[in-house]
Amino acid sequence: MPVSEALARCPEAVLRPTRLPRYREAAAEVRAILRGASERLEALGLDGTYLDGGEDPELLETTAALCVRIQAETGIAAHAGIGPTRFVAWLAARHAGAEAIRSVSAAQVRDFLGPFPVTELWGLGPATAEKLASEGISTIAEIQTCAPERLDRIVGPPPGRWIELARGEDPEPLRPSPRARSFSQERTLADPTLEENVLGSVLTELAERLGRILLREQRAARTITVVFRFVDDEQQSRTRTLDEAIA
């Protein structure tokens, strides 16, 4: 729901500013931990990551250890789903419950997916769900057994992707995210200032954040850029390349 609509419906609500730079920093910290287990990972926004567990015979134990480590080192409670496809793993993580981890084997996929409403399928929105409901189709189990020709008649082409997801099939391979070539931190001051001690304190804080990210990513940096944005939106930057990389 857009913020404007939320405020219109609930004018007494208190609107608090987001901390997007901190969210990005936390996401980088979590992914640095995950990269220690596998380089094959695909980012899913700021709050999720697909990780290729490969042929790990102790995948459940490895996943549990990662969740514990993430909680201990970042303070973030991690939930995980294990499954033969990205969609199954994603849905398992969303419904992991108090146990924090839910594992679904290939043999369990259809029974696991079946009870969920069709709106859980990626790309299937409310309008399409209404069309399916008018034909008596409201769960993923009913998509699993529905003939493609019938789905095509109800919702139009192409329904094949939803049938694949409903049956636990995902022909798209994991797309590993490339390692970042640069890292950044930013902060908007509550009150504009040119005080050197204030700006110096902010720069120190940002540098410390970047240092922690570099350490977690096991990376080093040579080129440093500082950008200032003024109240009139004018922007100035300074860049320096060091002789040796630092972390």
pLDDT in tens, 11-31: 888 877 777 888 888 888 888
Distance of alpha carbon 71 from alpha carbon 23, whole angstroms: 15
Q: What is the pLDDT of residues 85-110, one digit of tens each?
A: 999 999 999 998 877 899 999 999 99
Q: Are 90 and 81 in contact (CB under 8 A)?
A: yes
Which residues are CB-contacts of 23 (< 8 A; sequence separation ≥ 6)? 46
Let me know: does 164 contact 170? Beta carbons within 8 Å. Answer: yes
- Whole-angstrom distance, CA of residue 43 vs CA of residue 161: 21
pLDDT at residue 121 in the model: 93
Residue 216: its pLDDT value, please?
62
Q: What is the mean pLDDT of residues 181-194?
A: 81
How would you class 236 by CB atoms within 10 Å of its CB: exposed for 0-12, middle for 13-18, buried for 19 or more? exposed
Report the distance separating Cα 38 and Cα 47, nearest Å: 18
List the beta bridge partners of residue 241. 223
Burial zone of 51 (CB within 10 Å; 0-12 exposed, 13-18 middle, 19+ buried): buried
pLDDT digits (tens, 9 = 90+) for 198-224: 999 989 988 887 887 777 667 788 899
Residues 6+ away with beta carbon under 8 Å from 121:
140, 143, 162, 165, 166
pTM of the complete model? 0.66
135: three-class secondary structure by DSSP: coil
Q: How far apart are CA 35 and CA 117, in angstroms?
A: 34
Q: Are 207 and 215 in contact (CB under 8 A)?
A: no
Summarize pLDDT for 135-174 with one digit per residue, the tens. 999 999 999 999 888 988 898 877 788 889 999 988 677 7
Dist. CA 40–CA 199, nearest whole Å: 39
